[in-house]
Amino acid sequence: MSDSPAPLADPHLVFDAAEGRRDLVILGSTGSIGTQAIDLVLRNPDRFRVTGLSAAGGRVALLAEQARQLKVRTVAVAAPDAVPALREALREQYGAGEPLPEILAGPDAATQLAGSDCHTVLNGITGSIGLAPTLAALEAGRTLALANKESLIVGGPLVKALAKPGQIIPVDSEHAALFQALAAGTRADVRKLVVTASGGPFRGRTKSELANVTREQALAHPTWAMGPVITINSATLVNKGLEVIEAHLLYDIPFDRIEVVVHPQSYVHSMVEFTDGSTLAQATPPDMRGPIAIGLGWPERVPDAAPAFDWSKASTWEFFPLDNDAFPSVGLARHVGTLGGTAPAVFNAANEECVDAFLAGQLPFNGIMDTVTAVVSEHGTPPTGTSLTVADVLEAETWARARARELSAKATAEARA
């Protein structure tokens, strides 16, 4: 391992560490990660100051309230037609004569904000649209607290080409756990990474038993409160497949040394097994504010960022092997991760379209992975020996989304015939 490339995320390295209060930009501020990050900031005003917020534009009242609470200088929305409502909401929040924050609007607004003057950018955007902001933050020399796993999945080589040692701090609960556990040893000491999965709402069911599960059942995650796309990804375990690719890219560990185990309680967020037989696990009650605090504050810890265990109470922690037949997503993710190139982008884009179709009642639950597998198979083996570009990623995603929609529509028509 000593001759392999430096990992993107290394707890032993700190990129541009800052003393005193850190200026932050929060992308996806009205989503689950963003709102929890803002809660953390408001409870720690001596440590953090938010200079900019971005959101899609569907919750302008909340965005305006956040802007006033944090006294930000810039607000960005992806939807230009949301600007009038946002400006009105800001006027309602701010006092008469009080200047409003600058407003950026359009599909590139978050990317522009990610490159603005600050110490750390928290990328909490959901989906591969987070790639451009991730690249902008890295290119501008910001520390990147990365919750948007999709940008690393679809643009791995692009991210690796820009990121400096210690510049990325992972915010996913699993990767924040690996990040902390890896601090206990050197890269040469690591035998394997163990990524835990809750198993979602359908743990223990066979593939045939999953055929007729409903949207409401799939959205009822037993341990985590998340947005609808991530919740469905957790139900199919696509989320775990993406995390395997992410772990490979972040820590430069081969796929055959990254294991997934099912842990229903979601107390142990991931583990690192070392060559001497020791395994270090990072454990907290299920709460994303802990990983967010690591992303924003490392190498310092934020006191009382999240709840701790009450060790005076008895509890049971269980671990089970992954059922690859019922949940083939992890195996498919390993396959596309090994292929590299545009294959991960195709996998991710097809899945996003299929999740939308499932949520709209246009595709059965098992149809998500059946369709994603078909799209990946049609894409074939991506070219090797060429440099991946953003244009390559966008072209592959556009094709994958269109093909996934075609196959989903065909499956719906056949089911109704």
CB of 5 closer than 8 Å to CB of 253: no
Residue 16 within a domain:
no
pLDDT of residue 386: 64
In the structure, what pLDDT confidence band is assigned to residue 2 with cuts at 50, 70 and 90?
A: very low
If you average pLDDT over residues 348-376, what whole number do you get? 95
If you average pLDDT over residues 247-260, what whole number do you get? 96
Give the model confidence (pLDDT) of 33-81 as tens digits: 999 999 999 999 999 999 999 999 999 999 999 999 999 999 999 999 9
pLDDT greater than 60 at residue 164? yes
The Cα 138–Cα 9 span in angstroms is: 13
Query: Which of 127-136, 220-229, 282-291, 392-401 shows the lowest per-residue confidence on average (mean pLDDT)?
Result: 220-229
pLDDT of residue 1: 35
If you average pLDDT over residues 211-226, what whole number do you get? 86
pLDDT of residue 417: 65
pLDDT of residue 383: 67
Of 175, 207, 230, which closes a domain? 175
Q: Verify that 220 and 283 share a domain, yes or no.
A: yes
Of 175, 192, 215, which closes a domain? 175
Of 133, 152, 175, which closes a domain? 175
If you average pLDDT over residues 223-247, what whole number do you get? 89
Residue 102 within a domain:
yes
Amino acid, res. 195: V
Q: Verify that 356 and 213 share a domain, yes or no.
A: yes
DSSP state of 201: G
Residue 317 within a domain:
yes
Report helix, strand or coil for 281.
strand
CB of 129 closer than 8 Å to CB of 123: no
Q: Verify that 292 and 324 share a domain, yes or no.
A: yes
pLDDT of residue 388: 84
- Secondary structure (DSSP) of 62-97: HHHHHHHHHT-SEEEES-GGGHHHHHHHHHHHSPTT
Q: Verify that 225 and 151 share a domain, yes or no.
A: no
The residues facing 48 across adjacent strands are: 22
Q: Verify that 210 and 288 share a domain, yes or no.
A: yes
Residue 57 within a domain:
yes
Q: Verify that 259 and 171 share a domain, yes or no.
A: no
Q: Verify that 32 and 131 share a domain, yes or no.
A: yes
Residue 359 within a domain:
yes
pLDDT of residue 384: 59
CB of 147 closer than 8 Å to CB of 168: no
Report helix, strand or coil for 396.
helix
CB of 219 closer than 8 Å to CB of 236: no
| Structural domain of 379 | 176-416
Q: Verify that 242 and 391 share a domain, yes or no.
A: yes
DSSP state of 376: H
Average pLDDT, the chain: 93
Kindly state the percentage of the chain with pLDDT values over 90.
84
Residue 12 within a domain:
no
pLDDT of residue 385: 55
Q: Residue 153 is part of a domain; what is its CATH number?
A: 3.40.50.720
If you average pLDDT over residues 291-304, what whole number do you get? 96
Q: Verify that 61 and 78 share a domain, yes or no.
A: yes
If you average pLDDT over residues 161-165, what whole number do you get? 94
Tell which wins on pLDDT, 232 or 127.
232
Q: Residue 221 is part of a domain; what is its CATH number?
A: 1.10.1740.10
Give the number of C-alpha atoms closer than 13 A to the C-alpha of residue 334, restricted to the C-beta side. 12
**Looking up tokens 């957790």, which residue turns up?**
234
Residue 11 within a domain:
no
Tell me the pTM. Answer: 0.92
CB neighbours of 385 closer than 8 A, spacing ≥ 6? none
Q: Verify that 235 and 122 share a domain, yes or no.
A: no
Q: Verify that 149 and 218 share a domain, yes or no.
A: no
CB of 21 closer than 8 Å to CB of 46: yes
Give the model confidence (pLDDT) of 317-355 as tens digits: 999 999 999 999 999 999 999 999 999 999 999 999 999
Number of domains observed in the structure of the chain: 2
If you average pLDDT over residues 218-239, what whole number do you get? 86
pLDDT of residue 382: 74
Report helix, strand or coil for 308.
coil
Residue 17 within a domain:
no
pLDDT of residue 139: 97
Q: Verify that 60 and 97 share a domain, yes or no.
A: yes
The Cα 343–Cα 339 span in angstroms is: 6
CB neighbours of 413 closer than 8 A, spacing ≥ 6? none
Peptide bond into 170 cis (omega under 30): no
Detail the DSSP E strand segments found in 46-173: 48-55, 74-77, 102-105, 120-123, 143-146, 168-170
If you average pLDDT over residues 158-187, what whole number do you get? 95
Distance of CA 413 to the CA centre of its chain: 33
